[in-house]
Chains A and B, each alone.
Chain A
Amino acid sequence: MSLTPRLPLALRQLTDAPVKTAAAAAGICFSTVLVFFQLGLLNAIYQSQSRPYSLLDGEIVLVSDRFSRLSQSPEIALSDVMRAQGVEGVARVSPLSIQLGILLILPQGFTTNAQIYSIDPSNSALSIEKTKLNISSLTPYERASMDDMSRPSYVSNVQKKLNNYSDYRTNLGNKRLFINSISSIGSTFAADLSLVMSQDNLIHYFPGRSYSKINLGIVKLKPGYSVQKVLATLNSKLYPVGYNIKAMSIPEISDKEMSFWQKNTSLTFIFGIGVIVGFVVSGIILYQILYSDVISHLPEYATLLALGYPNIYVIKVVFVQAFLLTAISFPFSFAITLGLYGLMASATNLVIYMTLERCISVLFLSLLTSSFSCFLATNQLRKVDPSSLY
């Protein structure tokens, strides 16, 4: 025969003191938001480094064998890159040059780093659809397109001019530059903003560059051809081991970029500390709440022991309270985090978003932290003496 469930003492304790429960849940909510935010930001920062690769109009990238990251990509010979045109399955090969420059921001008057993507307007390495590039705006002399995912204040300066049918006049290095259109690229660690210009204009602003030397070759395949097969052909026949060029798929080069920033910067460490601090804060808050709760309810717990309830039952009541508090606060943490992500995205143009994996892992770790705090808080309960009631 089934047994009637016992009174839910943990739930009743919480609902009997709604203000205290709400305060406790708010404390746990705050620390969970902290964890979510740190993880989201870290992921967004890394993702933003590999975003440019998703904008390339091709499936394979040809780079120097010494390639480590996009902003410092060594030069390779255009002629070597164009050899890939003859490989079966290759539709076309497009050149892409990357250059860092100093851009003057007007009307504020200060300078900032700009990452410049240089393409052949007749053979664009960037997807026009994804980047919303106005190709014809790149052709005129001293013209460039600005990334609308750069710092909003920079973009708004440009947008104001463009809305009035004027070009935005500024300097790149010590030469004048006109920004006459807006595109969508995405910011990186290397620079505060991105520009797109033609190869002709690149060489005008950076005379040290030449047409024969580029940074990346973007290979677009014909429909129906396997990326892996063409990659294998390129790396075995055209660019074997030892050659100064290698072919990589888009996912491969994205991972390589992410890996560089993960291993060569202290971001993971810094944000990792932030995540740990978040969980520690959550654990401490919960411990304090549970400990003071146990102390204030000691006579009741002693009564339960005197009535014949086992010690483990009483400890279970506290554990259930801890899990309930964590469960109550989690949806609020989730909602607040979504709001913060949205705010962050609009302020910085970082692509920051919630993932199911992150949600599940933070919930799991929150429950784990709750368990540990509970274990410490119930230490007092293991020593409670029911004879103290007399």
Chain B
Amino acid sequence: MLMNAASPVIVNNLTFSYAYDQPDSNVLNSISLSVSSGELIILTGASGSGKTTLLTLIGGLKTGAKGCLEVLGKNIISASPNELLLLRRQVGFIFQSHNLLPYLTALENIRVGLEIHDSWRQMGLLAMENKCTELLELLKLGSRTLFKPKDLSVGQKQRVSIARAIANKPKLILADEPTASLDKDSAQIAITLLRDLTKVNDCAVIVVTHDNKILDYADRIINLENGSIT
């Protein structure tokens, strides 16, 4: 296993189970991989193969794994809840169901992602709003800044979700089925953007997907089967 010291993600012999004392209960079996900056990795596999579990472990959303898991230079296996919280602030999450706050506009939903960082709050409201507007225009949503999620299409909501995830230029982006509910054109826009980000921001992007149409955009495809890489 080639380990790049600058890799945002280094996984070594990672095992995860919800009940370690029960035989054959492992969701992940001694997984080893690394993701370099500037790489777009696609994780594929059948349902229940452990793709989403691996994603949530990398993102610090889930704990209880055994082995070695280094994310953005931090060993998160033994990290405290506060350390995991700080890690999550440096990672961009794109959820399958968007998870936008329904009572905020598109612009405000992105702003929520920026406000977690005091550095942005110090820059002031105008700076934050300008950043949000810039991202929405980049994602061809410039005319929808003041729309609430209920007034946006599924594809538009997903793009807002992507904007929120990338607003702070994270070094690692984790996307779970980002194109699942998008039409062909919207899916292409979304994955193209993610690929461009790897080059422009030198960030690593890990995408979990069943969508064969976007496999060609990946630098590497990793297939999981029954918790192991095949």
Contacts and interface: CB of A to CB of B under 8 A. Distances in A.
A303 B101 contact: yes
A4 to B, nearest CB: 5
Interface in B46-62: 52, 55-56, 59, 61-62
A6 B118 CA distance: 10
Contact of A308 (B55, B101, B116, B122): B116
A274 interface: no
A340 B198 CA distance: 68
Interface stretch (A9-17, A29-37, A65-73, A360-368): A9-17
Interface stretch (A90-98, A324-332, A382-390): A382-390
B88 interface: yes
B111 A7 contact: yes
A386 B122 contact: no
Interface residues of B, number: 34
Contacts of B86: 308
Contacts of A300: 99, 101-102
B85 A3 contact: no
A107 interface: no
Interface string A296-323: 0001101111111110000000000000
B104 A387 contact: no
B48 to A, nearest CB: 13
Contacts of B88: 305-308, 386
Contact of B121 (A4, A299, A304, A386): A4
A303 B164 CA distance: 11
B176 A1 contact: no
Given A304-B112, A387-B56, A3 B104 contact: no
A85 B62 CA distance: 91
B115 interface: yes
Contact of A9 (B52, B85, B101): B101
B162 to A, nearest CB: 14
A308 B85 contact: yes
B125 interface: yes
Interface in B103-160: 103-104, 108, 111-113, 115-116, 118, 121-125, 128
B29 to A, nearest CB: 19
Nearest to A309: B116
Given A7-B108, A9-B101, A12-B104, A307 B95 contact: no
B89 interface: yes
A127 B147 CA distance: 72
Interface in A266-283: none
B118 to A, nearest CB: 6
A206 to B, nearest CB: 74
Contacts of A390: 52, 55-56, 61, 95-96, 176
B224 to A, nearest CB: 15
B61 A299 contact: no
Given A4-B121, A390-B56, A303 B111 contact: no
Interface of B: 52, 55-56, 59, 61-62, 85-86, 88-89, 93, 95-97, 99, 101-104, 108, 111-113, 115-116, 118, 121-125, 128, 164, 176
Which 9 residue pairs are nearest across A and B when measured between Cβ atoms? A308-B89, A16-B103, A387-B61, A3-B121, A303-B99, A308-B88, A387-B62, A387-B56, A4-B121
